Amino acid sequence: MMTEPIDYLVIGAGPAGLQLGYFLEKTGRDYLVLEAEDVPGAYFRRFPRHRQLISINKPHTGWCDSELNLRMDWNSLLSDDPELRFTRYSEEYFPNADLLVDYFADFAAQTGVRIQYGIRVTGITRDGHFHVSTQDGTTFQARRVVVATGLALPYVPDIPGIELAESYNDVSVDPHEFNDQRVLIIGKGNSAFETADNLIAHAAIIHVLGPKPLTFAWRTHFAGDLRAVNNNFLDTYQLKSQNLVMDATIDRIERHGAEFHVTQRYLRRPKVMTHVYDRVIVCTGFKMDTTIFTDSARPRLALNDRFAEITPAWESTTVPDLFFAGTITQVLDRRKYTSSVLHGFRYSTRALHRFLEQRYEGLTWPGQDLPADASAVADAVLARINRSSGLWNQFGFLGDVLVLHDDGTSRLREEVPVELAHRPEFGAGQDYLIFNVEYGSGYPEIDPFDIAAGREWEDDPANESLYMHPVVRRYRAGELVSVTHLPEHAYNKWTDPEKYHEPVRAIVAEMLPAGFR
């Protein structure tokens, strides 16, 4: 059976597909969301395996502003209804993932997002329109397709014998099954340490192995790096409690009866050793399912073929009108910002919808028109910086773009991907400013808990702050003219007239035509 063409077909009703569906429904577009499972967000019925989320949930912020509260609420989807917040489901800082499944189901029901469940996509072709084949024999036609399937498959490194190991996806989570066993966990991310932490009291020894050094979220500010809530295992290693973290690669895995012999090549010294284990568990992350694409609609891939290669507008670089949403868009800011996690990609998904509205529906990017008055512009910009949850949670990736016109007036476009902001439709060819909040460039190298490193330099506005702070970049005809780092503030209240308002006012005044300064 072949359906009539629709304008927007969204594949996947996880958080990104659900979020995009909400905006398409709100604007009355011709769309449909296809979901293989029987509920939205079904991924969270299985993952994380030990059920504790690491996305924070903070209902008690001391604020009454629902927009500000979203800064500390990493699980809610965006909507006009402040009652549709995950913070109503739990007061736990790291809640159980089952509650997230309940929340997504309620969100879908209450917002009326059009979802067809139990529809598994088996192939996508392109011949004028997209033709999306499904397991039940239906073929959907669409003018545009947005893939929001998440990272559906485990990423398995190319190691001889890796097929003998168990996977994070289906290994038992009952720690009693590991009593007195020797366990090797391959991987050094959150899934690896989540698994190790579950086994500490039961396994005889646990080795966590990977070729790269540990990267801590508290140091890199990347929420996907190892989180403190998962790193209790490190104590057992450093305090000599029969566990190890190993910097090594694996030459091969061999099975000898009930044992696994794993040949490891150490990176800190030229040494090769074979260790014997009772269990080997692969916790090396996930990748996008690319088997649904046929040759006519197959996107170019990136990062070990784990992601599609996409433009700053989330469109395939090789297949026009094929877009991506959600955690699979992290290829744009890999390990730098927050496109890999819900509290980041909910804003990217809103920006994607705004881009679709601009390109296909002829609408302008949302924002506000401002008068030819530098002080008024500074007030408007700082009001956004002090309140916006999108600029806060997608730090460095999204920015407000201020374009000045010849008559002295200006247009402030809200939450534009910084890489998109340099296109002609946003301001390239004119004088424009990009305002965002970000961390200073030195933060991955500086240990924030090292007192000996000194902190005096952070008080100098001429230097980049180690912590979150506003940044103003001025461009002319697409070329960077100047960068101004405003000082950080302990309570993130960038309101002081001398430190914040006056520098922004001065930058805007310098750009205004002479008669308006």
Q: What token pair was written down for 336?
A: 């730098």
Lowest pLDDT segment from 109-123, 275-289, 417-431:
417-431
Here the tokens at position 327 are 């955690």
For residues 295, 300, 301 and 307, what is the CA-based torsion angle, rounded to 10 degrees? -90
Q: In this structure, what token pair is assigned to residue 430? A: 């004119």
* DSSP state, residue 330: G
What value does the mean pLDDT take over residues 107-125?
97
pTM above 0.85, yes or no: yes
**The residue count for the chain:** 517
pLDDT above 90: percentage of residues in the chain: 79
Query: Which two structure tokens, joined as six digits, stand for 498?
Result: 């001398």
Output the pLDDT for position 333: 86
Question: Residue 472 forms beta bridges with which residues?
Answer: 435, 484
Task: For the chain, report the end-to-end CA distance as a whole number of angstroms.
Answer: 65
Q: What is the pLDDT of residues 184-211, one digit of tens each?
A: 999 999 999 999 999 999 999 999 999 9
Are 500 and 494 spatial neighbours (Cβ–Cβ below 8 Å)? yes
pLDDT above 70 for 459: no
Burial of 81: CB neighbours in 10 Å, binned 0-12, 13-18, 19+? exposed
DSSP-assigned letter for residue 293: B
Q: In whole numbers, what is the pLDDT of the chain averaged over residues?
A: 92
pLDDT at 227: 92
Class of domain 6-153+287-360: alpha beta
Considering only CA atoms, give the Rg of the chain.
25
C-alpha to C-alpha distance for 142 and 255, rounded to whole angstroms: 49
pLDDT digits (tens, 9 = 90+) for 49-103: 999 999 999 999 999 999 999 999 999 999 999 889 999 999 999 999 999 999 9
- Please state, in angstroms and rounded to a whole number, the distance separating the CA atoms of residues 234 and 192: 12
Question: Under a CB-based contact definition with an 8 Å cutoff, are residues 308 and 291 in contact?
Answer: no
Burial of 131 (0-12, 13-18, 19+ CB in 10 A): buried
Residues 346 and 19: beta-carbon distance below 8 Å = yes
Instruction: List the one residue out of 440, 439, 401 whose CA is nearest residue 418.
Output: 401
Which residues have a Cβ under 8 Å from the Cβ of 407 and sit 6 or more positions away? 372, 513
Q: How much is the pLDDT for 426?
A: 80
Compute the CA torsion angle 289, 49, 109, 75 (nearest 10 deg): -100
For range 483-494, the mean pLDDT: 89
In this structure, how many other beta carbons lie within 10 angstroms of the beta carbon of residue 353? Answer: 22
Q: What are the domain boundaries of the chain?
A: 6-153+287-360, 162-284, 368-516
The reply to whether 162-284 shares the fold of 6-153+287-360 is yes
Residue with the two structure tokens 């909400």:
22
- Nearest in space to 267 (alpha carbons), one of 220, 213, 230, 224: 213
Query: Residue 332: exposed, middle, or buried by beta-carbon count in 10 A (0-12, 13-18, 19+)?
Result: buried
- 290-295: Cβ within 8 A, 24+ apart: 292/11, 292/121, 292/122, 292/123, 292/124, 292/149, 293/123, 293/124, 294/123, 294/124, 294/125
pLDDT at residue 442 in the model? 67
Query: What pLDDT digit, counting tens, does each position of 138-182 carry?
Result: 999 999 999 999 998 999 999 999 999 999 999 999 999 999 999
Q: Tens digits of per-residue pLDDT, 349-389?
A: 999 999 999 999 999 999 999 998 999 999 999 999 999 99
How does DSSP classify residue 52? B
The residue-averaged pLDDT of 325-332 equals 95
Q: Which residue has the higher pLDDT, 313 or 448?
A: 313
Cα–Cα dist 230/189, whole Å? 9
Fold of 162-284: FAD/NAD(P)-binding domain (3.50.50)
Exposure class string for 147-173: b at 16+ Cβ within 10 A, else e: bbbbbbebbeeebebbeebeebeebee
Confidence of residue 463 (pLDDT cuts 50, 70, 90): low
127: its two tokens: 């011949």
Q: Among candidates 17, 7, 9, which has minimal Cα distance to 329?
A: 17
Q: Which tokens is 87 given? A: 């913070």
255-260-263-269 Cα dihedral, nearest 10 degrees: 180
Q: Which residues are bridge partners to 109 per DSSP?
A: none
φ and ψ of 12, to 5 deg: 110, 125
